[in-house]
Structures are given as structure tokens and as C-alpha cells.
A and B are shown apart, each in its own frame.
Chain A
Amino acid sequence: MYGLDDVESSHDVLVVGAGCAGMRAAIEAHDAGADVALVSKLHPTRSHSGAARGGINAALGNASDDSPEQHAADTVKGSDYLGDQDAIELFCNEAPADIYQLERWGALFDRDNAGRLAQRPFGGAGTPRTVHAADVTGHVLLQVLYEQLLKRGIRVYEEYFARRLVIGDRGCQGVLAWDLARGGVKALAAKAVILATGGSGRVYQGSTNAHACTADGMAMALRAGLPLEDLEFVQFHPTTLFPSGLLVTEAVRGEGGYLLNADGARFMRHYAPDAMELASRDVVSRAEQTEIDEGRSVGGSLLLDLRHFGPEKMRERFHSTRDLALTYAGIDPLKTPLPVRPGAHYHMGGVATDKDGCTEIDNVFAAGEVACVSLHGANRLGGNSLMETIVFGRRAGRAAAEQALKRSGSAELGLKALADGEREISKLLERREGERPRAIRSELGSSMYENFGVFREAAKMHRQIELLEDLRERYEQVLVEDKGRVWNSDLTQALELGFQLDLALCMVSAGLERRESRGAHSRPADYPERDDQNFLKHSLVRWSNDWLDLSWKPVTITKWQPQRRTY
């Protein structure tokens, strides 16, 4: 039978999401003396951080002369000068110590011949800086963070679907969640909440993201009245396998793989003559899209040639990449080049936070892909996001613990919140007629790819907003066919779709207002140039009076004045 403990619990700090950022935050909050718990719709090691392949950036200087300053300069340039430079400097300075700590916790990074951590070249970086564990770096980090979680005995509400931040007089009071395995609303009260729910990639059809990446945290923050920053910036990864959208790691280009068009030419020569295939991701994706749009593709794809790697290098370094190609495309990259195209990969934008992950509500924090510090600005460099989860996960964990420990008494959500939560779910479950989520989800995904993809223009964005309004209306009558309570993923998937629709509308609205081309936001038809005069600033979208309110905030510049960005 259900006891009170099953429906309500209270902690100092509650972390929503248990990927790298969430677990790192929880570990730090615990070590800072707080009673901390995580809530996640997946078991922690099933989080999407585990799919990060290529590596994690820190200026250790093991493979070449390097410094945090160079790392920062590369990141600023990569961000197309939209990253906040104070955050970037702090990030680059703190990254090396975090890597050493991960190593000490047991992370199985690859070594050089001297037994030091090996570092590989990555796109947008001037020097080999990316620490890695073969091509399963994220997986290795996820395991080691989970081990540290277990070592500390930190509580995880596993397979609980968080769906609302409860906001009251003293800020956030906690989170309402749905217990997937048993069915039922669970009230998780907390003195501070950290959102670490990851990205929103599933808004697109043609995404590298897992099914679980449905913008939950961003939408929950939006509904709680918090501003979302720079949502128009979505990174399209240049090498996603056609047609599945699965990611082929950038490391294959870092180690000599190259891109060919239908004529067999290395077309990057025309777009980035120096960096070639290792230019920043947005540059490579646009080059590909241009080749596709101008008719030099092979059935809508470009070719990623790895044949010259030879069997030994392929086995040793890219075992899982070859495996991926064989399983999902039936192609052996040793024999045939892989068909690739740009796919939605990473959301630079997210919940607006300061350098400690703190949002406008002083006891709500965010870290990792869900957040926008802003570290990545208009474009993220490969290898910086895993590092972000660690550096800013740690900082958010520390700050949240301090905030929580300042607050007296114990956190409470109260029975009303619980009853409201139950009522909403019951209403959804009791609906007998309506539209199944499938068509709405599929139209959302394909239209976003078409109208808000690598290239954007006003007309298409206007059309997309109309379409989204229509989809949102249809969603009002969404039908959950499964009426049971135990493991009802039909219910949680319908709730996820609601999150995605809210977020998509914010993304396109912000994109329409940014009348320039910068980083991943590219408008060759109407605003082909970067416009520092008018748009060297962050967009902020918030929900107010049932509509979206768009505003701007300045970019922090410390050392690096905007320059023309070429590779």
C-alpha cells in the first residue's frame, strides 16, 4: 500500500535529471553538507550524456603547449562572440582541475605513451585539447559519476517523471513528479532545485538526440515564469548518419576523416581552406547544406570517407563508429564512405543562469544543456559540453547547497499541490476522445527541420509559428490511450509532447526577432551578415499573460572584441 513517504518527501536540494550535470551537481551538493536527492525519468546511467562520444576539453597541455587562455579564445571565437566571456574564462580556468578529479574518481581516459592523459584535436580548437575515452567518453563519465553517487549513498528517485516546478512565496518549493513504475503523483519538496534535464533535440525529426531529450526542464522553467536565453541557437551536427540521424563522432574528422560531395571533391576547401573538415560545426553544417541545396549531394547526403584509416586504426579508435554504421546503415566504413547530413544535435540556448547556475528565482538553478550560462554563445565547440556539465554542474551543486542550508525549517509542498497534480493527470487519463500524439509529434519534428533548420528566413519562420499554434490547439485534445497507472509511458510521452510544443514556439519566436546571421542561426536569404551593432546581445523569452514576451540582455566582453570569424 501507498504510505505518506510514497507520495511526499523533502530534501535540501533536489536535482532534476541524472545525466553528467545532474549527478555532478548532486555529488557537490552532498559534499557541501546538504541532504540531496535526484529525480530522473531514466535510471542515471541511461541518460543521454552517455551518448557523447568524442571527448571533453581542458587545457592540460599534455599533447601540445596549451593554456586556459587559448581554450577561452577558441571558445569565444567558436561562439561567434555571443558567449559571455567572464563565464568562458572561468570555465577554461577551472576545467583542468575537474579533469584530474574525474581521473582520480576512476574515469578511464585514454593515455599517451608516457601514461599521461591523451588529448586529441577537435573542431574549432587551435591545438589538441580533447581528453577522451576511445569514442565512448560520455559513457565512461556517466558510469564514474554514478559510482561516486553510490559511494555517497545519494538517493535517486529513478523513473519518476518530473513535470512541474511548484512556485510559492519563498521561491520554488519543490517538484511534482509522476511515479512511472507504480503510477501516482509524487511531491518532492526541496529548499533548492537544480534543473539538469538536458536538451530538446527531439523537437526535430532528424536529430542525434535520444527519445528522452524532450526539453522537459526548459519548458518547466518557462511555465514557472523563468526566462529562456538564446533559444534560436541549435547546433546542427555535420555528420549524422542518413537516414537514422545517429551521430558519427567528430573525432573521425579530428583523426583524418574527410568529406566528399557527389563529384568526389573535398568541398570544405571552398568554405574553410585552412581548417577544412575541422572547421567549427556550424561552418561545416552550412557547407554541407549548401552543397545539398545546390545539387551536389548523393541523395541528400554528403560522403564521410574513412576508408584510408585501415582496419587497425578503425578497430582501435573507432570500434563503435564502425559498429554503428554496420548496424544502422549496413555499410562498412572501411569499404564505403558513409552518407551523412546535418542533424539537430545540441541546444546552445536554455534556462538563463549566472555563473553559479542560479536563475531569476534564487533557489532554482540549472546546469548542463538545459541551461544557458552562456558558455557556447551562438555555436558550441565539440568537447565543451561534457566539460560544461562537470564545471557548471559542480558550481550549481555548491551554490544550491549554500542557498538551501541558509533556509530554516524543512521544505514542504503541501497537500494542495499534490491534489492539483493528481487532478491534472486524471483529467488527461479520463479523456475518451481526441487525437493521438503521433501525428502532432511527427508534424512538429518535420516542420521544425524544414522551417527552422540549418538555414532560416522570415517567411518560413512565420509559417512555422502558425503551424505551431495549430499543433498546440490540437494538443489540447490529445488522447492518452493507456488508462492504466503502472508504467504508463503513453501518458508521459503525451506530457513530453506538451513540453516540446511550448519550447518550439519560443525557439522560432526568438529566431524571427534575431535579424542577423550568427553562429548556428543563419539567414542567408534575408540577413546574411552578423550584425554586432544591433544583435551582439542575448535573446530572452518568457511566458507572460499567456503570450511570449521577448527581450534582450547584453553580452559580457572581457578581452576579446568581436572579429570576423573565419577558419
Chain B
Amino acid sequence: MQVRLQIQRSDPATGETRLQLYQLDHVRPAATLLDCLEQIKDEQDGTLAFRRSCREGICGSCAVRVDGRTALACRTPVAELVAGGRVPIVAPIGNLPLIRDLVVEMEPMWQKMRSVEPFLRPSSELPRDGRETVVPPALLEAVHKEALCINCGACISECDALTVSPEFLGPHALVKAWRLVGDPREPLSKSRLKELSREHGIWECTRCYLCNERCPKDVDPRDAIAKLGAEAFAAGLTRDRGARHARWLITSARTTGWLRESELVVKTLGIVVSVTRIPLALRLVRHGKAPLPLPRHKASELGPARELRRIVAEQDRRGARGIVQGERVLARIELTHAPAQPEPETEDF
């Protein structure tokens, strides 16, 4: 099989980047993109720089962007990429500083992970028998997916919120956060949730779902963020702007069947800040991007909206257990061993 790739090269001294075309004439049909990078380095160009180690999708070294989509090179069969004579572009992952060619500086990602204090803090009391903590297996299901994270940075690369707001904790650190908050052995969940609910925390995610889409280990980072949000709600941490925003969506849907966007700003930001946004609001109205506050938006039929809410409530999926999004996750939900115990209902969820 013939493979042609355009690979982004860079000069570490100047930071300048360019695309370089490589052609391999003899590639095994079952080869991965990583196999091809290795072959190029071995046979054609020893100066090509990329990270790699396990070549089986567990070490998390070789995330790259292929035609803009982040993937592990070692888990990407190359035949599909070059089908029909296509010449894919291979570039380093996004939202992290470039070191050279396909190698980026991962430290900003690690720094954010460190900031969530990523370790369990078991209480000082040891089990009496000196053995393991007894934990029903169903409770550990809550963090099962998050424990699969291999720190490859694919979610960081794909995250639009991070591009716009570099201080955002980001999907990777939040996955780690849920791994700990959701662990039945962790005693400090509420104080962690409080920290995570601050600015640049869980509510800064824009819910684009690209992290779920591209995570090579099916960790579904957005789901972890949603679980954090749901648990923050359940713990009564609803004062943050993001939480107020979510709360208003529910109230608005329940009372009028619609999202009343003009009121949303006031409910989320408060009156004082909202006043400063009036010029922006007027510009939005002028361009047809926002409705006028009056007359009040109201659906002709309120029934369906309320019925939907009732169905969700009946399914007993409050808190983190309510976070079931996308087909892949639905497929996996059958695996839970025991039905979850209902929790007391909170105001809006």
C-alpha cells in the first residue's frame, strides 16, 4: 500500500511551521499512522520528532491531529486515512505550546491537573481488620470510565472553551476531579465541588461534546464535567454564575416551556452586571440574535415540557447518575450491577 502524508514540521529556534510531504511506497495494509511515522523516521527523515511508546493505546504519548481531528497515532489505521488517494495532514495537538514538529509542551495540562489536588484523601481511620475498605461494586461504577484516562491530551486539543479561555481548568483536569469526587472512599467531595464551582471551573465548559467525541479511551470527559455539575447542584452549590445559568434554564422551561433569554442574563449575572451589558443586548436585538424581553415568551402548550421533566424524575437519575449522554454511553449503562438508590430531590433537578 502507498501512503502519502503531509506532516507539520517546525523550527524550534524560530517557531516557524511548514508542511512537508512524505511518501511511503511499501506499507502493510494493517499499519497504523504511528507505524508510518516510525517508517518515515527510520527510512527517510531521522529529524522528524514525535512522541511514542506503547504503540497499543495505553501510554497516551502519540496524540496528534489528523486533518484537524485529534487521535492517537497508534490507534489510527492508516488505510482509512489514505483511501481514495487522500493525503492527510498530520499536525501537533492543539491548545498546548509547540516544542518541535509533532511534540507539544504538556506542562500546562499537568499544572491544571495538579491544581485539583489529584489524590484520594482517605480518612485517618483504618478499617478495623487492617484490610481493604469494603465498597459495594456498584458504587465504584461511578468513576469507572474516568479511571481509564491515559492523559493523552486529546480532550485538551479539542476543547474550544480552552482556546477562548486559557484559564479554564479543562476537560482533562475535570475528569481527574470527578475520578476523586465520585469515589465513594473520598471524604472531601463537597469542599472539592465548591472549589471546582468557581470561575474557570466546571461551568466554563461550553458543552460542545468534542472531548467525548474524540477521547480515544471512551472516558467521555464532558460526562464527567456534567456529573460534577449535577453533584454540585445536589450539594446545594448553586450560587455560581454557571449554576445559576443552568438553574434558570430549568425554571424557564418549567414555567413557560421556552428559554427566556433576556431574563437569562439577569438571572445569571445579577442586575448590576446586567445593566453594563445593555448596549451589547441592544446590538444583539438589532441583528436579530436575541428576542425583545416583551411580550413574554410562552409556549402555547406547557404540558409536553412538564411531561418531559416528569419522565426524567421518574427514571430516578438525579445527581451524577442522571448524566447519560450519547449512544456509546447508553450502551454501557446496562453494565451497572445494581439499581442506584434514589436521593432526596433537590429544588430544580
Q: What are the interface flags for A113-132 relative to B under an 8 Å C-beta threshold, 1 for contact and 0 otherwise?
A: 11111000000000000000
Q: What are the interface flags for A127-149 relative to B under an 8 Å C-beta threshold, 1 for contact and 0 otherwise?
A: 00000010010011001000110
B263 at the interface (CB under 8 A from A): no
Give the nearest-CB partner of B41 in chain A.
A490
B150 at the interface (CB under 8 A from A): yes
How far apart are B14's CB and chain A's nearest CB, in angstroms? Answer: 12
Q: What are the interface flags for B127-162 relative to A under an 8 Å C-beta threshold, 1 for contact and 0 otherwise?
A: 000111111110010011001111100000000000
A487 at the interface (CB under 8 A from B): yes
A329 touching B30 in the complex, CB below 8 Å, given contacts A111-B140, A114-B134: yes
CB contacts (< 8 Å) of A115 on chain B: these are 134-137
How far apart are A45's CB and chain B's nearest CB, in angstroms? Answer: 5
Q: How far is the CA of A143 from the CA of B113 in the complex (A)?
A: 12
| B57 contact from A315, A327, A329, A438, Cβ within 8 A | A327
Whether the pair B43, A438 counts as a contact (CB closer than 8 A) is yes
> Which positions 9-48 of chain A face chain B at CB distance < 8 Å?
42-43, 45-48
CB contacts (< 8 Å) of B55 on chain A: these are 210-211, 244, 246
> Which positions 135-194 of chain B face chain A at CB distance < 8 Å?
135-137, 140, 143-144, 147-151, 180, 183, 185
Q: How far is the CA of A490 from the CA of B40 in the complex (A)?
A: 12
Q: How far is the CA of A328 from the CA of B78 in the complex (A)?
A: 11
Whether the pair B137, A113 counts as a contact (CB closer than 8 A) is yes
CB contacts (< 8 Å) of B133 on chain A: these are 103-104
A151 touching B119 in the complex, CB below 8 Å, given contacts A45-B151, A113-B137, A480-B46: yes
B42 at the interface (CB under 8 A from A): yes
Give the nearest-CB partner of B49 in chain A.
A487
B106 at the interface (CB under 8 A from A): yes
Whether the pair B100, A486 counts as a contact (CB closer than 8 A) is yes
How far apart are A185's CB and chain B's nearest CB, in angstroms? Answer: 18
Q: How far is the CA of A418 from the CA of B80 in the complex (A)?
A: 48
Whether the pair B99, A482 counts as a contact (CB closer than 8 A) is no
Whether the pair A328, B59 counts as a contact (CB closer than 8 A) is no
CB contacts (< 8 Å) of B307 on chain A: these are none
Whether the pair A139, B58 counts as a contact (CB closer than 8 A) is yes
Q: What are the interface flags for B48-78 relative to A under an 8 Å C-beta threshold, 1 for contact and 0 otherwise?
A: 0110111111111100000000000001010
| B183 contact from A106, A113, A328, Cβ within 8 A | A106
Q: What are the interface flags for B108-121 relative to A under an 8 Å C-beta threshold, 1 for contact and 0 otherwise?
A: 00100010011110
A50 touching B42 in the complex, CB below 8 Å, given contacts A104-B122, A105-B120, A139-B150: no
Whether the pair B12, A484 counts as a contact (CB closer than 8 A) is yes
A108 at the interface (CB under 8 A from B): yes
B341 at the interface (CB under 8 A from A): no
CB contacts (< 8 Å) of A210 on chain B: these are 53-55, 59
A315 touching B53 in the complex, CB below 8 Å, given contacts A45-B151, A103-B133: no
Q: How far is the CA of A535 from the CA of B135 in the complex (A)?
A: 49
CB contacts (< 8 Å) of B58 on chain A: these are 50-51, 136, 139
Whether the pair A150, B114 counts as a contact (CB closer than 8 A) is yes
Give the nearest-CB partner of A118 in chain B.
B137
How far apart are B220's CB and chain A's nearest CB, in angstroms? Answer: 14
Q: How far is the CA of A151 from the CA of B113 in the complex (A)?
A: 12
Q: How far is the CA of A112 from the CA of B144 in the complex (A)?
A: 15
CB contacts (< 8 Å) of B150 on chain A: these are 45, 50, 139
CB contacts (< 8 Å) of B118 on chain A: these are 147, 150
Show 29 residue pairs from A and B whose CB-CB distance is below 8 angstroms, ordered by the A residue. Answer: A43-B151, A45-B60, A45-B151, A48-B54, A48-B59, A50-B59, A51-B58, A100-B130, A100-B132, A106-B185, A108-B147, A115-B135, A117-B132, A139-B58, A151-B119, A210-B55, A211-B53, A211-B55, A212-B53, A316-B335, A327-B57, A330-B30, A436-B46, A481-B45, A486-B12, A486-B99, A486-B100, A487-B100, A487-B101
Chain B interfacial positions (CB closer than 8 Å to A): 12, 30, 32, 41-43, 45-47, 49-50, 52-61, 75, 77, 99-101, 103, 105-106, 110, 114, 117-120, 122, 126, 130-137, 140, 143-144, 147-151, 180, 183, 185, 332, 335
A-B complex: 8 closest residue pairs judged by Cβ atoms:
A481-B46, A106-B120, A486-B12, A147-B119, A115-B134, A490-B46, A438-B42, A111-B137
